[in-house]
Chains A and B, each alone.
Chain A
Amino acid sequence: MLLREVEYVKPASVAEALEALAENEGARALAGGQTLINVMKARAASPDGLVDLNGLEELKGIELATDGTLTIGAMTTYSEIVDSAEARARPILAEVCAQIADVQVRNRGTIGGNLCSNDPTNHLPPLMAAIGARMTIRSQAGERTVSAGEFFVGVYLTAVGPGELLTSISVPAGKQDGFAAVTLGADGTCIANAAATVDGSVRVALGCVDAVPVVLEADSVDSVRDAVRAANLDPPSDVHASAEYRAHLAEVLAERAARQAEERR
């Protein structure tokens, strides 16, 4: 398909990328392009310019600190996370990334792109919310770090504003995590999903049921379903699931994810 005419720049540094974004209000950052290129075909997005981040080595790679904290560059692909020795420090990361779409998409799609697109059906927003990830956002004015709760703002909206870039994601140490989803075909788009972390209490983040991940706390795995019911979810209805069915799935998947997290010691 022919896209609308678009300017293209491939900066050699993050500073150059931020300058290009600041100079052109209609420019968008191009990460893996596995969403953006397609929505440009459909004209659902029509940026005047693309700032291609693919040449920026400083946004790629995974570092494991001595305290177990992982720092993941925003331009790290799903495949790189799946294959990373460092990422095994928090096994759920590779497990979930291996469930996203297919080999081709995983070879191009990035963690930063997944989070910044904040499609409510994406895998990684609820996962990041459950495991307590923090996002570092840079602009020409400086750098700030926000929690998942602050990062996800609305459907396709995040705290990353005009002239800003998500540069890295920081994931604390931990192992007791779970993830469950009902998808359109194996590894397809999520109809509903849930991520959970057990750390004394249970934290569950539900995807696909609201504009941003819905985070719930429960005292124990046995009370997770009650917590989901108490949240009075009002999920969207679509061709794949009614609101009622999606709310039911959220309950089931929350429990599955929590049990998986608890069993992992």
Chain B
Amino acid sequence: MDVAVTINGTLYERDVEARKLLIHFVRDDLDLTGSHIGCDTGNCGACSMIVDGKLVKSCMLLAVQANGSTIETVEGLADGGELTALQQAFSDHHALQCGYCTPGMLMSATALLRANPSPSDDEIKKALQGNICRCTGYWNIFEAVKAAAR
């Protein structure tokens, strides 16, 4: 089936099998490997992307369902090579150990700060609930998001 999506400002048009998950389409067909596949069961959030302004887990969406969508992935954050304030805060606060969950964490925190630039501590925690860090480095991630908030 024909699928056309705009990812980080670039239009991609491909022929896709209906059964292909959005995460596989983005990683394997478009070679945008920033978004990770962790659990592939909708639990871990490593595949989180912003689709038409909404944060979603791209392992629970078919690529054909994203036809016509505008998608943001982690590759779109450092546009032109300069880190966003959130990415810089992740670096400053050592908010990543192995880094596997980081693309999803960044997208979840980006969606949070866009909707709510000054979140409370509880709002930050609630916003990151769908993202698992198996290094259990949650505290530094929380601190980084807090630092990036206004």
Query: Interface on A for B, CB 8 Å cutoff?
Result: 1-8, 10, 30, 33-34, 37-38, 41, 50, 52, 54, 79, 101-105, 107-108, 186-187
Q: CA A8 – CA B2 in complex, angstroms? A: 12
Q: CA A52 – CA B63 in complex, angstroms? A: 12
A100, chain B: closest CB distance, angstroms: 11
Task: Tell me if B98 is interfacial: C-beta within 8 Å of chain A.
Answer: no
Query: Interface on B for A, CB 8 Å cutoff?
Result: 1, 17-21, 24, 40-42, 45, 48, 54-57, 59-62, 64-65, 108, 111-112, 126-127, 129-131
Q: CA A167 – CA B129 in complex, angstroms? A: 30
Residue of B42, B45, B55 with highest tally of chain A CB at under 10 A: B42
Q: CA A33 – CA B60 in complex, angstroms? A: 6
B68, chain A: closest CB distance, angstroms: 10
Could you tell me the dominant secondary structure of chain B's interface residues? mixed
Our pick among B17, B61, B129, B130 for the contact of A37 (Cβ within 8 Å) is B61
- List A contacts of B130 (CB < 8 A): 101-105
A103 touches B18 (CB 8 A): no
A37 touches B62 (CB 8 A): yes
Query: 7 A-B contacts, Cβ less than 8 Å apart?
Result: A1-B59, A3-B19, A33-B60, A54-B65, A102-B131, A108-B54, A108-B61
A34, chain B: closest CB distance, angstroms: 6
A41, chain B: closest CB distance, angstroms: 7
Q: CA A186 – CA B130 in complex, angstroms? A: 11
A37 touches B60 (CB 8 A): yes
Our pick among A4, A8, A38, A186 for the contact of B62 (Cβ within 8 Å) is A8
B54 touches A107 (CB 8 A): yes
